[in-house]
Amino acid sequence: MITHPDPIVTSRLGHDDSHTLERYLATGGYEGLRKALGMTPEAVHEEVNQASLLGRGGAGFPAGRKWSMLREAPTTYLVVNGDESEPATFKDHLLIERDPHQIVEGTIICAYAIGARQAFIFCRGEFALGLERLTQAVNEAYEHGALGTDIFGSGFELDLVVHPGAGAYICGEETALLESLEGKRGFPRIKPPYFPAAVGLYGEPTVVNNVETMSNLPWIVLNGGAAFAALGEGTSTGTRLFALSGHVKRPGWYELEMSKTTFRDLIYDPSLGGGIRHGRELKAFIPGGVSAPWFFPEHLDMGLDQDAVGKAGSMLGSGSIVVMDESACAVRAAYRITRFFWRESCGQCTPCREGSGWVEKVLRRIEDGYGREEDLDLLLDACDNIAPGLGWPPKQTTICVLGPSIPSSIVSAIHRFRDEFLVHVKDGGCPFEPDEVRRAE
């Protein structure tokens, strides 16, 4: 049963001018900030704790708890992660282009709660329009009195800088993002320290939160944490913005109540994904970005719930669902995902740098018809060296989680579609047609 609560982060997107200050103010914009500034920072923090807002970037760490971990220091920073690059994820891109003021307002609220006086929004470099809209929104927020000194007469002061990335998936990893923001290569930092809350930007305590996480804050402050927590179930509270792509009739973004909606609803309901194109059968789907192990038809009735998906051996991750129908080649899909990790590996750690290239080559030769039967064991063995045990969550041999994400698609594909790999080997090539080009309507 699909519930239809009022949207929280996409409430303005029905308007063509949702990115403008005029529309924002006409639809309750900056009221959450005004209310927050009338509360103590601790009280704002408490509302977010009550909301049980889980970070919307991928790891799903509770936002309020992250804020509690800040080391006491004269200078603290807030950095908003808008470097959305997990393949098939396009929800932050949407929020950045279509409702930049909501992100700015959420950022100011967060900065107030944690006592930061300078904040940065790290926006993925490839989002040219997004950068323009965010920069415009920040300019307007200063003029409107929502940024700078004495914000709305409260005495609170904050500077907000929009920082452009330059094209590197790894910068979505929070310590790599901070390195990049410091003007360096996006190399994830060795842990410990595990959290930027202890040692972050310029070595100072720093909160790094995702764009969608920030976008929820104005609503949470206005309506209260309890109202947010009343949506969803268990630890998966509120709504979440899901990005649906692949072989569905209606790819797109859908803001849904957590837990209450199932994968079947999302993929098949006429108001959501609308079912598989050409009436074909579902082969597999990826439940949370390409770092996640694949799901299959037997998982369709699971709710969009962080814990449930985790227990079933995958993750809701970045909230992006990729649907593959029976015409999709599992070898080709695993190859393309692996190629991505190989291209984006920062190169610091051997298992990731060497392992990704190795398995990419083996997958490529299988797809091209030059594979050997023993290549399947070779793939699994190489994956086992990247993430020993091949379990979920993966064991770590590297500084960050990019490396351990490599086996997900390969192991999923081999375990489920072993015969398909063997046909590639036996027949000397791929038995599937080239992927059908989707026609512009």
> 196-225: which residues touch another protein (CB under 8 A)?
199-203
| Smallest separation, CB 377 to another protein (Å) | 25
Interface segment toward another protein; rule CB under 8 A; list 11-19, 210-218, 248-256, 411-419: 248-256
Can you state the angle between helices 350-367 and 330-344, rounded to 10 degrees? Answer: 150
Give the binding-site size for another protein (rule: CB under 8 A): 93
Residues 348-407 that bind another protein (CB under 8 A): 348-349, 399
Residues 11-70 that bind another protein (CB under 8 A): none
Handedness of CA 302, 308, 312, 316 (dihedral sign): positive
Report the alpha-carbon distance of residue 304 to residue 146 in Å, rounded: 36
Residue 93 found at the interface with another protein (CB under 8 A): yes
Interface segment toward another protein; rule CB under 8 A; list 50-58, 140-148, 374-382, 416-424: 140-148
Q: Which of 166, 126, 175, 183 is nearest to 348 (CA)?
A: 175
The two structure tokens encoding residue 379? 């793939």
Own/partner contacts of 387-393, CB < 8 Å, gap of 24 or more, are 392/293, 392/313, 392/314, 392/315, 393/315
Nearer to another protein (CB atom), residue 162 or residue 379: 162
| Smallest separation, CB 232 to another protein (Å) | 24
Where are any strands of DSSP class E within 116-228?
A: 118-123, 159-164, 206-210
List of residues 6+ apart from 153 with CB closer than 8 A: 145
Token pair 């930049």 is found at: 100
Residues 252-271 that bind another protein (CB under 8 A): 252-253
Residue type, 99: D
Report the alpha-carbon distance of residue 138 to residue 130 in Å, rounded: 12
Among 46, 159, 269, 354, binds another protein (CB under 8 A): 159
Nearer to another protein (CB atom), residue 51 or residue 292: 292
| Smallest separation, CB 237 to another protein (Å) | 25
Nearer to another protein (CB atom), residue 64 or residue 246: 246
Q: Write the burial class of residue 364 (CB in 10 Å: 0-12 exposed, 13-18 middle, 19+ buried).
A: middle
List of residues 6+ apart from 29 with CB closer than 8 A: 21, 23, 101, 102, 105, 218
Among 55, 57, 60, 165, binds another protein (CB under 8 A): 165
Nearer to another protein (CB atom), residue 175 or residue 237: 175
Residue 100 found at the interface with another protein (CB under 8 A): no
Residues 295-354 that bind another protein (CB under 8 A): 320, 322, 324, 328, 332-333, 336-337, 340, 343-344, 346, 348-349
Interface segment toward another protein; rule CB under 8 A; list 17-25, 186-194, 358-366, 372-380: 186-194
| Smallest separation, CB 227 to another protein (Å) | 30
Residue 412 found at the interface with another protein (CB under 8 A): no
How far CA 87 is from CA of 177, 347, 361, 377, 379, in Å, comes to 17, 20, 20, 27, 22
| Smallest separation, CB 229 to another protein (Å) | 29
Q: Is the peptide bond before 351 cis (omega within 30 degrees of 0)?
A: no
| Smallest separation, CB 269 to another protein (Å) | 16
Among 286, 359, 366, 414, binds another protein (CB under 8 A): 286
